[in-house]
Structure formats: C-alpha cells, structure tokens
Amino acid sequence: MAEQAANTTPRSGAPQHGRQQQRGGRRDDRRNQAPEAPKEFEEVVISIDRVARVVKGGRRFRFQALVVVGDKKNKVGVGLAKGADVQAAVAKATDVAKKHLITVPVVNTTIPHDVEVKVSGAHVLVKPAAPGTGIIAGGVVRSVLSVTGITNLISKSLGSTNKINIAYATIKALGDLVPKEQWLNAPKKKAVKAPAAPKEDK
C-alpha cells in the first residue's frame, strides 16, 4: 500500500494540470481586464457606399461612410467622409460629425414646434407628438433621432430618397427649432428697474 501511495504522489518537477491551475488562470485573466469607460457619444452608421474615381491607370475604389453621433440628451451631428477601407471611413466620418454638433431644444421628450425643411431634393417635415406616441419616422430620420433625447415625434420624408440629403435635412430641421422661451408670445420677465442716481446740487 505504501508503494502505491508513493507512486500516486506527483513529482516536484512535473507540471500539474488540475482544476486549481485552470481556475487560477481564469482569475488572472479577469484581473488583467480593465473596465471599459462609457462612451460620451453614441455612433450610428447610416450607410456605407463604395465610390470610384477614374485615374490614369484605371479606377480607384474607396469607401464613403455616413455616420450620426449623439449623446442621448440634446446634442447630435452628422458626418460624411471617405477612406481607403470601411473602418477608416467610419472613423473619419465620426470625427467630422463630432466637430459639427448642434443642440436640439427638447420639451417633454418632444420638440417645441413643427418644422418643414428642404435641402437639395430632400424634403423633411417633423412635428411634435404626445407622450407615448414614440418616433414615427423612416430609416434615415429614425437613425438621426435615435441618438437624441427625443422619444415622441412624427415625421414625413418627401421628395428625394438620397440618404445623405435626408440626413442633412433632418439636422437642419432640428437646428431650426426655436426654444419656447424665445417665442414672440412667450411670457416676458419683468425687468427690475435700477435705482435712480442721486441728483447733484448745483
């Protein structure tokens, strides 16, 4: 019995392939993983197209990306850029969109008033909606509104179906919105009169 027990004991120099080693490796992997920081802006790729340019040697193909970014609060922007591959085009378009952010006035999860905008051949109409309505919009308009703080809105896309023109028309419509405080019939705040300066005796 003693000889069998001696044979079963592992050697000091031999590697041990047991559950303890596997668990230890998994724990080390978990410890080495750094927590990912939350993104400030959310990115949505609307379209990716392959474009060609005719040069002396033939055609030169590149990729064109249309990206919309937003912070789910009140900032949104659209960017269009080209790159040698899809990843480069999306990265460039994202940088362009972040440089051209606009602030959208949001009132009770909707817009303050309706707007109708025409950009090139695209014609976009947006209207405020009651709570619970949701976003009633087409593909491109819905993609742009999905990264804003608007959750109730009615829209209609008229005219051209070009995604680029529709995206820019939607951004222009959101940029043309006027906050309720700046309306002509908005209640004006009473101005406080400054105390009159004392008169000097002649």
Task: Determine, yes or no, domain membership for 20.
Answer: no
Task: Determine, yes or no, domain membership for 11.
Answer: no
Task: Determine, yes or no, domain membership for 154.
Answer: yes
pLDDT band at 17 (very low <50, low <70, confident <90, very high): low
Task: Determine, yes or no, domain membership for 113.
Answer: yes
Nearest to 39, CA basis, from 147, 145, 165: 147
Name the residue with higher pLDDT: 83 or 30: 83
Q: CB neighbours of 119 closer than 8 A, spacing ≥ 6? A: 165, 168, 169, 172
- What does the pLDDT look like over 18-46, one tens digit per residue? 555 555 555 555 555 545 556 778 899 99
Residues in the chain: 202
Mean pLDDT for the chain overall: 80
Task: Determine, yes or no, domain membership for 21.
Answer: no
pLDDT at 143 over 60: yes
Name the residue with higher pLDDT: 118 or 10: 118
Task: Determine, yes or no, domain membership for 48.
Answer: yes
Give residue 56's domain range.
42-181
Rounded to an integer, the average pLDDT of 45-68 is 93
- What does the pLDDT look like over 122-134, one tens digit per residue? 999 999 999 898 9
Rg of the chain (C-alpha set): 30
Task: Determine, yes or no, domain membership for 133.
Answer: yes
Phi, psi dihedral angles at 132 (to 5 degrees)? 95, -10
Strands 153-159 and 122-128: antiparallel
Report the CATH number at residue 123.
Answer: 3.30.230.10
Structure tokens at 143: 């993609």
pLDDT band at 72 (very low <50, low <70, confident <90, very high): confident
Task: Determine, yes or no, domain membership for 54.
Answer: yes
**How many domains does one find in the chain?**
1
